[in-house]
Amino acid sequence: MTRKKIIAGNWKMFTTVSAGVALATEINMGLQTRDLSNKKAIVIPPYTHIHAIINAVGANGNLGVGAQNCHQQKEGAYTGEISPVTLKEMGASYVIIGHSERRQYFNETEELLNAKIKAALAEGLTVIYCIGETLSQRESDTHFAVIEAQIKGGLEDISTEEMNNIILAYEPVWAIGTGKVASPAQAQEIHQFIRGLINAKYGNAVAKNICIQYGGSMKPENAAELLSQPDIDGGLIGGAALKAEQFLAIIDAA
């Protein structure tokens, strides 16, 4: 079976609302002339842009829209946080949980990420759950154990049925925003390992179905080779997602 390739652009804290609408509109225009039967494109702007972008590109068009994080509660006295209920109402369909920048700068633990995943799934959002090792973990040869712990902790008590709404993104931290990309063989080795973990926990049907994206300095120049690996089912793109031409070129490579 062939899994759909899912290409998602994580805009982080870049673009103003007007610049974000212009970027999404340009990407959306580019999608109109492409064959998307076996691929899906998603933009993941700052929360503040979601509503305006959906107004510009349409709620049920070719371009999916997501958020970069959400809180684990539906509502409450959590100043500055965003509820998954609000994201859903704004029209977001996806949410990234566990990006390494959230783990690193906001001390997000597996236990917290597991609660966020459950909260997002409860609102009908599809979760892009990020996992990946740091450079020192790879150098000390603990990367397989790190990834196993991230899968075990983040997906604790997530049912087989709920796995239909989970995308995994393997993002080696040493490759994010550094220009250092994992070699196709290095990435494939980990993706195969992750699929094996999912197979052991949820069985063959879920493992065969699940989308495992690669993230970390994916660009038009390296995308085709990465995306041709048997267990790499898409990309989570940072820097190259901020230029419509580059993002569309990665979609073409998928």
Number of C-beta neighbours around residue 157 at 10 A? 8
In the structure encoding, which two tokens stand for residue 159, read together? Answer: 């049912």
Binding pattern to ligand PEP, positions 62-101, x when CB under 6 A? ----------------------------------------
Q: Which residue stretch of 35-43, 61-69, 134-142, 237-245 sits at the interface with ligand PEP (rule: CB under 6 A)?
A: 237-245
Query: How many helices and strands, by DSSP H and E, does the chain display?
Result: 11, 8
- Residues 222/228/234/236 CA torsion (nearest 10 deg): -20
Q: Give residue number: closest CB to ligand PEP.
A: 238
Residues 143, 135: Cα–Cα separation, whole Å? 9
**Using the rule CB under 6 A, is 237 a contact of ligand PEP?**
yes
Residues touching ligand PEP: how many (CB under 6 A)?
A: 13
Give me the residue label for tokens 């049907």.
205
Comparing CB distances to ligand PEP, the nearer of 30 and 239 is: 239
Hey, CA dihedral for 177, 163, 153, 46, is it positive or negative?
Answer: positive
Q: Cβ(5)–Cβ(234) under 8 Å? A: yes
Query: Residues 198 to 217: which contact ligand PEP by CB under 6 A?
Result: 215-217
Active site includes 161?
Answer: no
- Please, what is the minimum distance in Å from the beta carbon of residue 13 to ligand PEP? 11
Q: Angle, to 10 degrees, between the axis of helix 110-122 and the axis of helix 143-154?
A: 40
- 191 part of the active site: no
Q: What residues between 155 and 184 interact with ligand PEP by CB under 6 A? A: 171, 176-177
- To ligand PEP, the closest distance from the beta carbon of 157 in angstroms equals 26
Enumerate binding residues for ligand PEP (CB under 6 A).
Answer: 10, 171, 176-177, 215-218, 236-240
What are the catalytic residues? Answer: 99, 171
